[in-house]
Homo-oligomer: A and B are copies of this chain.
Amino acid sequence: MVSAEPTVRLTGAPRSAAQTRVLDAALELISAHGVSGTSLQMIADAVGVTKAAVYHQFKTKDEIVIALTERELDRLADALEAAEAEEDRVRAREVLLTCVVDLAIERRGAVSTLQFDPVIVRLLAEHKPFEQFISRLYGALLGDGTGAAARVEAAMLSGVISTAVMHPLVADIDDDELREHVLRYMRRLVDLPE
């Protein structure tokens, strides 16, 4: 029997409680200091254990970064699947974008790291499962074109959201209000439902 619908999910093994504690601490530290600016000692201190205990959960620092990126990308998987289910490519993008706005607001603090940290950028391009996921994401984001205009539009859309959500100027705006404003401005850039 040929394998069914290849699922978009990225998750490897389910994470133990100890692993989850490490990933939570790592995400917070990395969001504040970047991947290279975060040491295993800092992570261990934040969890309240020694470095050796952290190394028992993940063999290398890279594995922590991969696991944490995986966990965050997985939050996009449902949105991406819903988008890919749409027949109309423009409609697919609408679905994706509205979901992405919500996720971005939910993860305000971490968005910038995940999109712009040089280590993660490299990982996204070189680690095969990520690369595949990202190119699906770009596919849905491109709408119905692939020319220069469409690519600039897609690039902008992927960035505007994260930037709009993490910018110091909007730090004191609460989630619900921010969401409304961002969606309003997004409608000026592309068609969005409602």
In chain A, residues 108-134, which have Cβ atoms closer than 8 Å to a Cβ of chain B?
A: 112-113, 116-119, 125
* Contact call A118/B32, Cβ cutoff below 8 A: yes
A53 at the interface (CB under 8 A from B): no
Interface size on A, residues (CB 8 A): 41
Q: What's the nearest-Cβ distance from chain B to residue A153, in Å?
A: 6
A33 at the interface (CB under 8 A from B): yes
* Contact call A163/B158, Cβ cutoff below 8 A: yes
- A188 to B170 Cα, complex, angstroms: 21
Given the interface pairs A36-B36, A37-B119, A125-B168, the reply to whether A181 lies near B160 with Cβ below 8 Å is no
- A149 to B113 Cα, complex, angstroms: 25
* Contact call A152/B125, Cβ cutoff below 8 A: no
* Copies of this chain, tallied across the complex: 2
Q: Which residues of B contact A189 (CB under 8 A)?
A: 185, 188-189
* Contact call A159/B152, Cβ cutoff below 8 A: no
A76 at the interface (CB under 8 A from B): no
- A105 to B74 Cα, complex, angstroms: 33
Give the contacting residue for A154; candidates B152, B158, B169, B178; CB below 8 A: B169
A52 at the interface (CB under 8 A from B): no
Give the contacting residue for A167; candidates B125, B158, B167, B169; CB below 8 A: B158
The 4 closest A-B pairs by CB, nearest first: A159-B163, A155-B167, A36-B37, A36-B36
Q: What are 22 A-B contacts with C-beta separation under 8 Å?
A: A32-B118, A34-B35, A36-B37, A37-B119, A113-B118, A138-B169, A148-B170, A148-B173, A149-B181, A151-B169, A152-B185, A154-B169, A155-B170, A156-B160, A156-B167, A156-B185, A158-B167, A159-B160, A159-B162, A159-B164, A159-B167, A162-B163
